[in-house]
Structure 1
Amino acid sequence: MFESLKKKFSRTSDKLEEELIEEAQEENNLEEESGKKFSFFSFGRKDKKEEDDSESDVAEIPQEVESIQETDTSDNETSDDKDEKSGFWSFGKKSGDNKKESQEEESAEEIQEEEEPKKPHFWSRNKDKDSSEETDEDEEPSGMFSFITAKTISEKHLEDILWELEMGLLEGDVAMEVASAVVDSVKDDLVGRKIKRSNDITEYTYNALRNAVAEIIDIPGKSMTEMIETKKAQGEPLVVMFVGINGTGKTTTIGKLANYYLKKGYTPVIAAADTFRAGAIEQVNYHADKVGVKLIKHQKGSDPAAVAFDAVEHAKAQGKELVLIDTAGRMQTNTNLMDEMKKIKRVAKPDLVVFVGDALTGNDATQQASKFNEAIDLDGVILTKADADSKGGASLSIGYVIKKPILFLGMGQGYDDIKEYDADWMLNQLFSESGEEVNINEA
C-alpha cells in the first residue's frame, strides 16, 4: 500500500542528507566514521532488535565457509547471496585473512584518494548499494558521516526539498490543503535542528514527516462498534445510511459490514433503498443472502424513504442492533437525487450518514465527499480498494478535508476483507517498508 507516498517521503530525507553533506564537504567539515548507515524506513521497524541480530548472523557466515553445506535451506540462501557478492575474498579466507584485509583497506584508500575531488563523492559512493551490502561493514565503506562542527538545518536547506515534496504529494492526489499542512509542519519541525551525524538527518526527517502525517490522519470520532453498544443500551438499533456515487462499491461494502457485525454477535438488517434500478435490488439481495441477513425491499420505483423506514421499524420490533440503508448512487451535482437523499435522511433519521468512496480515484473521492458533506452533512467515510492504492492521496486527505473520521477500509473483494480504521495502523502503513504490516487480520 501507498508505495508512491513512501518513495516521496524517503526521497525527502535523501535530498536533505545530500544537501547537508555536500555543503559540509565544501566547508571541509565532514569526516567518515564507522557504523551502520540507517535507511529512512529503519526507524519504523517494529522488530529492529531481531533484524539487527539477523544481520549480525549474516556477517559471521563468511568466516564459517567450511560449514555452509551443513546448514539448512534458509542459511544456504543467505550464504549463496553473500558468496555471489564477494566470492573473490571468500576463497582461501582462513589462510589469508590478515593479508586480504590489508589489501582491501589499501584498495579502499586508493579509491577514496582518486574520487575525493569530486563533489558528490561522500553522497554517491554508497547511494546505489543494496541494504545487504551496506550491512557488511567489514567489506564496504559504512556510508555514515559526521560533521566536525555540528550543522544547523536552515530554511535555505529546505526550500527546494520541501517544494519537491509538495509537488510530489500533489502528484500523488493529495489535496492541496493537506500537502501544504504537511510541508509547513515538516518545515517547522526541522528548521533549527542541529545535526552531528548523517544518521541524525534521516531520523529527524523521518520523525518530522511522521508527526506531520499523524496530525492529518487522526480525526477524532467514535467507532461504529462503540455507537452500536451505546444504542443497544438504549434499546434502539444503530441506523446507518450509505451514500456515494455509482461504482464505488457501496453495496458490496454493506454486505461486508453485515458480515463483519454478524461475526461480532450483532444482528443486522439491510434496507434496499435504491429503488431506481431493479438490478440494484437484486445486487443487495445477493449480498444479504450470501452473508445470511434479512433484507427489507419494495418494488422497483417505490419510495426509497419508505423502504428505509420499514427497515428501521423491523429492527426495532425484532430487537436487531443494526440497520444498513443502501441508497442509489448519484453524482454530487444531480440536484434531484440529492434532494431524494435528504428525504431518506429526514424519514429514517439515521445515526450515521456514511460516504463510501473509491480510494483509487484519489482527489476525486475527496472532492465528492466534500460535496456530499455540504449537501447532507456526513458523519464518516469508508474507503474501498485501499489495499490497491499505491498513491494514498484519498486516504491521507479525505478525513482532514471534510473533518470527519474514516470508519472502515475495504481491503479486498471477499466479505472478510474490511478493516475498522485505526490511525496508528495507517501511520505504520505509510512509514513501513514494502510488504510490512499489511495483513488486516494481524493488525
Structure 2
Amino acid sequence: MFDGLKDKLSNFREDAEEVAEENAEELDEAELDEPESDADVEAEAVGDASEPDADAADESAPEDGEEEESSDSSGGFVSRASSLARGRVVIDEEDLEEPLRELEFALLESDVEMSVAEEILDQIREDLVGEERKFTESTGALVEDALRDALLSVIDVGQFDFLETIEAAEKPVTVIFTGVNGVGKTTSIAKVAKYLEDRGYSTVLANGDTYRAGANEQIQEHADNLGLKLIRHEQGGDPTAVVYDAVEYAEAHDVDVVLGDTAGRLHTSSDLMSQLEKLDRVVDPDLTIFVDEAVAGQDAVNRAREFDDAAAIDGAILTMADADSQGGAAISVAHVTGKPILFLGTGQGYDDLQKFDPEALVEDLLGDDD
C-alpha cells in the first residue's frame, strides 16, 4: 500500500542523509566531557552532591571484585551520558535545497495537495536547517526523525477513536455517509455495520439515496447478507424523511446505531448538496463521514473540502487503499479538512476495513522493505 510514495520518501532520505553526513563532525573529548543541556548540568550537580568525602570513602572502600562497579558509579552520570553523543551536524539551507526540491516534486507527483506538500517541506526545514544537532547513532536518524515529524504533522489531524465515540454518545447514534457515486460508499456502510455488529453494537441501515435507480436493491442486498434491518422509501422520496424514520425505528427498538446512506453527488451539484445541508439541519447526525477512493488522489482531496463546506464532515473513509501506490489522498485529506481519516477500505469483503492509524502509516512509509 502506497509503495510509490514510500519509494519517493526513501529517495529523499538518502539524499538528505548524504547532505547531513557531509556536514557532520566528530565531537572531541573535551566536548564530550561538557554538559550538553540544563538536564546534564543538573545531573552533574546531583552527582557532585552525592560523592562521599574522603573519610566516608575510606569507610566504604569496596571489597575485592567490587572495584570496577564502584569506579563506574563514582565516575558521574554526566560523563557517561555525554559520551553517548557521537557527533554533531549543522546543515545550511542551500545544502538541503536540492533534496527538498526533489521531495516537493515527488509529493506533487504522488497527488499530495500543494499546501500539504509545502507544510511538509517547511517542517523539515525547521527541524534540520541551521541549528546544531547532536546525534548518537547516525546522521540518518536525524533525517528520519525530521521526516517522521513532518508527515505526522499533516496526517495526524484531530484523530479520534470511532468506537469510543459511539460508546460515549447518547443512543441511538446517527451516522451519515456522504460522497460521490461509484466510490464504494454503500459498501463502506455495510463494512462499518459489520465492524460495529462484531463489537456488540446493534445497527439499522437507512437508504437516503432516493435518487438513483437500483439504490434500494443494492443496499437491501447488503442488509440481507448481514441480517440487518433496512429502512427505505420509494425512489424519488425525501432522503431526510428516510433517515428520520430510521432514527425513530432505532429509538423504538433499542438499536444502538443508525447508518444512513445519501445520494452520491458531485460537489458541483447544488440541488443535491442542498439536500445534504437539509439532512444535516433536520436530523442533526452525530457523525458525518465522507467516503472517497484513495486512488482518486487530488480529486478526492478537492471533494472532501467541498463536502466539508456543505455539511461539516467529522471524518473520512478512503476506499481502495490497497490499490493505491501514490498515497496523496491519505496524506492530504485530513490536513485540508482538519478532520481525520477513520478507516481505509482494503478489499471487497465486509471485513476489509482497516482502522486508520497515522503513526503506523508513517512507520510503514519510512520502513525498510524486507
TM-score > 0.5 by shorter chain = yes
CA separation of 1:18 and 1:219: change in aligned 2, threshold 3 A: closer
Distance 1:350 1:21 in 2: 54
Give RMSD over aligned pairs. 2.3
Partner SS for 2:285: coil
C-alpha distance 257-21 of structure 1, shift in aligned 2 (>3 A): closer
AA aligned to 2:307 is F
| Partner SS state of residue 157, structure 2 | coil
Q: Structure 1 residues 199 and 13 mapped into 2: Cα distance closer, same or farther (>3 Å)?
A: farther
| Cα distance in 1 between the residues matched to 2:162 and 2:217 | 27
Tell me by how many angstroms 1:200 deviates: 2.3
What is the SS of the residue equivalent to 2:288? Answer: strand
Deviation sequence 1:302-321 (CA, Å, 0-9, x none)? 11111111101000110000
Conserved? CA contact 2:208–2:262, under 8 Å: yes
Distance 1:172 1:19 in 2: 24
Match of 1:214 among 144, 152, 161: 152
The secondary structure found in structure 2 opposite 1:278 is coil
Q: CA deviation at 1:18?
A: 3.7
Provide the rounded CA distance (Å) in 1 between the counterparts of 2:163 and 2:254: 17
| Cα distance between partner residues in 2 of 1:225 and 1:295 | 22
Match of 2:167 in 1: 229
Q: Which string of whole-angstrom CA distances, capped at 9 and with x for unpartnered residues, describes residues 114-136 of structure 1?
A: xxxxxxxxxxxxxxxxxxxxxxx
Deviation (angstroms), 1:377: 1.3
The change in CA–CA distance for 1:254 and 1:151 in structure 2 (over 3 A counts) is: closer
| Equivalent residue, structure 2, for 1:414 | 349
Residue of structure 1 equivalent to 2:40: none
Is the Cα–Cα contact under 8 Å of residues 227 and 238 in structure 1 kept in the other structure? no
Partner of 2:13: 13
Letter aligned with residue 162 of structure 1: L
What TM-score, normalized to structure 1? Answer: 0.66
* Larger mean Cα displacement after TM superposition, 260-269 or 423-432: 423-432
Unaligned stretches of 5+ residues in structure 1? 31-147, 436-443
**Structure 1 residue 297: deviation in Å?**
0.8
CA displacement, residues 2-52 of structure 1 (integer Å, 9 cap, x when unaligned): 11221122111221344466789xxxx99xxxxxxxxxxxxxxxxxxxxxx
Report what 2:281 is aligned to. 346
Q: Which of 161, 182, 187 matches 2:125?
A: 187
Equivalent position SS for 1:8: helix
Distance 1:325 1:271 in 2: 5
Distance 1:12 1:175 in 2: 18
- Give the direction of change, closer, same or farther, for the CA distance of 1:299–1:156 in structure 2 (3 Å limit): same
In 1: Cα distance, 2:247 partner to 2:87 partner: 70
- Distance in 1 (CA, whole Å) between partners of 2:119 and 2:303 is 21
Contact persistence 2:233–2:242 (CA under 8 A): yes
**TM-score, normalised to structure 2's length?**
0.79
CA contact (8 A) 1:255 1:415 kept: yes
CA deviations 1:152-205 (Å, max 9, x no partner) are 311121011111111110111001111011111111111136589997232111
Q: CA deviation at 1:359?
A: 0.4
Instruction: Please state how far the C-alpha of 1:422 moved relative to its aligned partner.
Output: 1.9
Q: Distance in 1 between matches of 2:135 and 2:164?
A: 47
1:310 aligns with 2:214: no
Report 1:256-275 matches (<5 A). Answer: 256-275=191-210
Alpha-carbon distance in 1 for matches of 2:289, 2:17: 43
Partner amino acid, structure 1, of 2:358: A
C-alpha contact (below 8 Å) 2:91/2:130 kept by paired residues: yes
Match of 1:164 among 61, 80, 102: 102
Q: Which residue of 2 aligns with 1:102?
A: none
CA contact (8 A) 2:87 2:136 kept: no
What's the offset of the Cα at 1:346? 2.4
TM-fit CA distance, 1:401: 0.7
Q: Report the 3-state secondary structure (helix = DSSP H, G, I; strand = E; otherwise coil) of the residue aligned with 1:331.
A: coil
Instruction: Report if the CA contact (8 A) 1:13-1:201 is conserved.
Output: no
